[in-house]
Structure 1
Amino acid sequence: MRLTKFGHSCVRFDLDGGSFVIDPGVFSDPAALDGVDAVFITHQHADHCNDPELRRLLEDEPETRIYGPESLSNVLGHLPFTAVSAGDAIPVAGTEVKVIGRQHAVVHPDIPAVSNVGYLVDGVFHPGDSFTVPDEPVRVLLAPVSAPWMKLAEAVDFIREIDAPVVHPIHDAILSKDGITIVDRNLANLIGEPYQRIADGNPTTI
């Protein structure tokens, strides 16, 4: 399995049986969608779901499947997608994508919560915007590290609770270059060897 981060929370999975991408949002490189068999969306926010690019994708490749929570219809409208929820398992690219979790992390009590699902792929977990902890081992955690709904202590506690042997940071587009350096230094000091940044566009094989 080859993982490539295409900016912010967008990660592409390339396997012998095909390719798919999770959370191609407005801060992500649209090249992540090239030739994929499926797209998985954790929730409806634009930094995770770039609906104009998805419309273009389906115009060019109408066989591509899109999966996400039912509330995704709020932004996709009549664009065809398959609604998924916790407990589902979707076969794709010669593997299985398990759906885990239900709710976006709280931004502020005055802001209504939206549905959010995470995806577990052969032990690689993408939580979207949540602190959901799977009830099975995680070997690679794609960990959000900066968000309006998060502080550094929460990121550390989440990473420690999952206790994956490898942690790759995601959800970092709102950080400046200096901000990324500061966050990476702090998390590397607090998490230790498992914390490993993947440079955008640079594939890593697991």
Structure 2
Amino acid sequence: MGTDANDTALKLTKQGHASVRLEKDGRTLVIDPGGYSEQEAGLGADALLVTHEHPDHFDELRLRAAMEANPEAEIWTLRSVAEQLSGAFPGRVHTVGHGDTFEAAGFEVEVHGELHAVIHPDIPQITNIGFVVDGLVFHPGDALTVPERPVKTLLLPVYAPWNKYAEVLDYVRTVSPAQVYDVHDGLLGDLGLAFFGRMLGEGGPGTGGAAHNQLRPGESVRLAR
């Protein structure tokens, strides 16, 4: 699951639900420290990325705490989130969208995607963006966005009101990464985690060659280029 430290690009730490922490060269980037993640999920970040406005991905208090703890920290997100924060942190909150590229605390980031997956036709569809970090790892937020470039590591939203197992499996096959790490699993207990571990692993119909992995909150792995 991990790689030799001499061939690493990023250290990835799973946080609660949909949040991950990426570290390299003494800098830290955090994605989606929302309301289902740890209270301190954003603390220590030099850069924060938010995929969309739903509270399990965007928690204003967690982001404010991170920005206040580090006066040099900055946020990159879509307009619906940026508008709620930019007044409190002028010049430190950046609006981005599909096709944009930028550097955040030494990490190279690409933006892919535009819309949240459909939950139900009666529920308005909101905007959602995903982030490819250092050309290596892709976090799609709440969508099954296929990035317009190959990625080695896919952070897979494994369980949500808007998806089902067949869609999740076909998404992995379409993206065709070398490896998958589950995210968006905060609503699953041990039985649910075991089910997806089996169905996306050796007990299932096959991911098209992608190695499926699960991390508990607080566990880390080193990702090779």
Name the TM-score, length of structure 1 as normaliser: 0.94
Task: Give 3-state SS (helix, strand or coil) of 2:126's partner.
Answer: coil
Task: Give 3-state SS (helix, strand or coil) of 2:200's partner.
Answer: helix
One of 190, 201, 217 as aligned partner of 1:200: 217
Aligned residue number for residue 128 of structure 2: 116
Aligned residue number for residue 102 of structure 2: 90
Structure 1 or 2: more helix by fraction? 1
Percent identity between the two aligned chains: 41
* Amino acid aligned to 2:98: A
Count of aligned residue pairs for this structure pair: 206
Aligned residue number for residue 4 of structure 2: none
Aligned residue number for residue 24 of structure 1: 33
Is 1:58 aligned with 2:61?
no
* Amino acid aligned to 1:110: D
Structure 1: 5+ residue stretches without partners: none
- 2:78 and 2:41 mapped to 1: Cα distance? 21
Report the CA distance between 1:134 and its aligned residue. 0.9
- 1:37 and 1:143 mapped to 2: Cα distance? 24
Bigger CA drift: 57-66 or 121-130? 57-66
- 1:91 and 1:17 mapped to 2: Cα distance? 15
> What value does the CA root-mean-square deviation take over the aligned residues?
1.6
Name the TM-score, length of structure 2 as normaliser: 0.86
Structure 2: 5+ residue stretches without partners: 1-9
Aligned residue number for residue 119 of structure 2: 107
Aligned residue number for residue 163 of structure 2: 150
Aligned residue number for residue 42 of structure 1: 51
CA contact (8 A) 1:44 1:74 kept: no
| 1:195 to 1:53, Cα distance in 2 relative to 1, 3 A | same
Task: Give 3-state SS (helix, strand or coil) of 1:55's partner.
Answer: helix
Is 1:138 aligned with 2:151?
yes
